[in-house]
Amino acid sequence: MHSYELSLENWFVADDHLIGAEAGLGKGFYFQMAGFENGRIQTAARAVGLMQAAYDAALEYARTRVVFGEAIINYELTRVKLATMAAIIQCARQFSLEVARQMGRGGGALEASMAKAYVCRAAEWVTREAMQIHGGMGYAEEYPVSRYFVDARVLSIFEGADETLCLKVIARRLLEDVR
């Protein structure tokens, strides 16, 4: 990522450009918050895709990489890693899909935050295991898994850093429910 400074001075926005027209006056913050809820489930879906790509790459590498005369897919430890990765990906996919369905019915705001927090963390672990299966080549830029690992890392930061998401959204709503 490269970052640049952006500055807007004396910027004029005409009345008829107000989002939501007159009914939108003073509601910008709430529109933005609603947008974040969609962004959270979208980020969880992105994490699922990333994990699947990492798993596919690891499976392919394990089939072709021969160590001590044996393809590493034939070593039990590799199989356990792949099975655990597949189980986590399936959980993440089903969880995200179910929350997306809830959101489609007008609910699921709290669950979208939970899905993002859990699934994005899971993506860090799954891409790490995929890189590990590649051995030293997992760190080489010519293998996509090195990129997947780096990309997984940002998922817990953007669209709401994990800590603020858990503190300001999940914990707050859970405590409101208790009250």
Site map 100..119 versus ligand FAD, x via CB under 6 A: --------------------
Which member of 25, 140, 161, 171 binds ligand FAD (CB under 6 A)?
A: 161
Give the count of residues interacting with ligand FAD (CB under 6 A). Answer: 10
DSSP string of the chain, one letter each residue: ---------S----GGGSTTGGGGTT-HHHHHHHHHHHHHHHHHHHHHHHHHHHHHHHHHHHHH-EETTEEGGGSHHHHHHHHHHHHHHHHHHHHHHHHHHHHHTT--HHHHHHHHHHHHHHHHHHHHHHHHHTGGGGGSTTSHHHHHHHHHHHHTTTTS-HHHIIIIIIIHHHHHHH-
Residue 165 CB, shortest distance to ligand FAD, in Å, is: 8
Residue 3 CB, shortest distance to ligand FAD, in Å, is: 9
Residue 154 binding ligand FAD, by CB under 6 A: yes
Residue 159 annotated among the catalytic residues of the structure: yes
Residue 164 binding ligand FAD, by CB under 6 A: yes
Nearer to ligand FAD, 1 or 13 (CB): 1
Residue 33 binding ligand FAD, by CB under 6 A: no
Catalytic annotation, residues: 159
Contact positions vs ligand FAD (CB under 6 A): 1, 154, 157-161, 163-164, 167
